[in-house]
Amino acid sequence: MKNALLRRDLGRWTAAAALALSASTGLVRPALAADEAPDALVKRLSTEVLDTIKADASIKAGDVGRIMQLVDSKIMPNVNFQRMTAATVGPAWRQATPEQKQRLQDEFKQLLVRTYAGALDQVSDQTVVIKPFRGSPTDQEVLVRTEVRGRGEPVQLDYRLEKTPGQGYGWKVYNLNVMGVWLVDTYRTQFAQEINSKGIDGLIATLAERNKSGAKS
């Protein structure tokens, strides 16, 4: 029962969380993003993307193709997805070949998009409130805590971000906490079971099959 409730809550909110990682990269110059404080970045991106979801009927209807376009063009520039995937795979990541690592990233991204695509019709009148930020200018990694408010109880939605060197986006997200559950930790347990029984290639095959089944449903 507890697992079922957890899946329901994650299904309801993690899509909005994932989409809230992004904004229109064409509307924000890299210099501005690099100078932006992490809590201000999360606030702006969350607001802009929630507005996009509300206005896009295809996204709200769970159009996976449209969502994948949004993920590739707007979300990925704001996420260290390699770090997220590596943390989810765990120690086995270090033994994976470059080709296996790329396959894992590709299949994991599709899994997240397909798992949570159907939850987007839940987005209606939500707004995002940033909680007091406790970071300092010298921090290389920070936690930004937010609440998604709308109908019903507020939903806890937290972001772990890292400062990236060089030009471009100064902060990138590498983990999400939805209602007290970290996304990476949730999938790490599932992935570890697959790796222990089938190895890296077995995990890739399982993810590919789940994505293939999802595409047919």
Ordered structural domains, the chain, with CATH? 2-216 (3.10.450.710)
Q: List b or e across 176-202, with b for residues whose CB sees 16 or more CB atoms inside 10 angstroms.
A: bbbbeeebbebbeeebbebbeeeebee
- Residue 153 pLDDT greater than 90, yes or no: no
CA atoms of 208 and 73, how far apart (whole Å): 22
- Residue range 186-195: average pLDDT? 95
Task: Estimate to the nearest angstrom the gap between the alpha carbon of 88 and the chain centroid.
Answer: 12
β partners of residue 129: 147
Is residue 66 within 8 Å of 56, Cβ to Cβ? yes
- Residue range 50-55: average pLDDT? 80
Q: Which of 2, 17, 41 lies closest to 184, judged by CA? A: 17
With a CB cutoff of 8 Å and minimum separation 6, the contacts of 95 are: 200
Q: Is 85 helix (H, G, I), strand (E, B) or coil?
A: helix
Give the pLDDT score at 152: 79
pLDDT for 98-150, tens place per residue? 999 999 999 998 888 877 766 666 677 788 899 999 888 889 999 999 998 88
With a CB cutoff of 8 Å and minimum separation 6, the contacts of 134 are: 143
β partners of residue 158: 145, 177
174 versus 137: the higher-pLDDT residue is 174
71 versus 207: the higher-pLDDT residue is 207
β partners of residue 176: 159
CA atoms of 164 and 171, how far apart (whole Å): 6
C-alpha torsion sign, points 179, 180, 185, 191: negative
Give the pLDDT score at 84: 94
Residues above pLDDT 70, as percent of the chain: 76
Q: How confident is the model at residue 7 (pLDDT cuts 50, 70, 90)?
A: very low
Q: pTM of this prediction?
A: 0.77
Instruction: Give me the numbers of helices (H) and strands (E) for the chain, helices first please.
Output: 8, 5
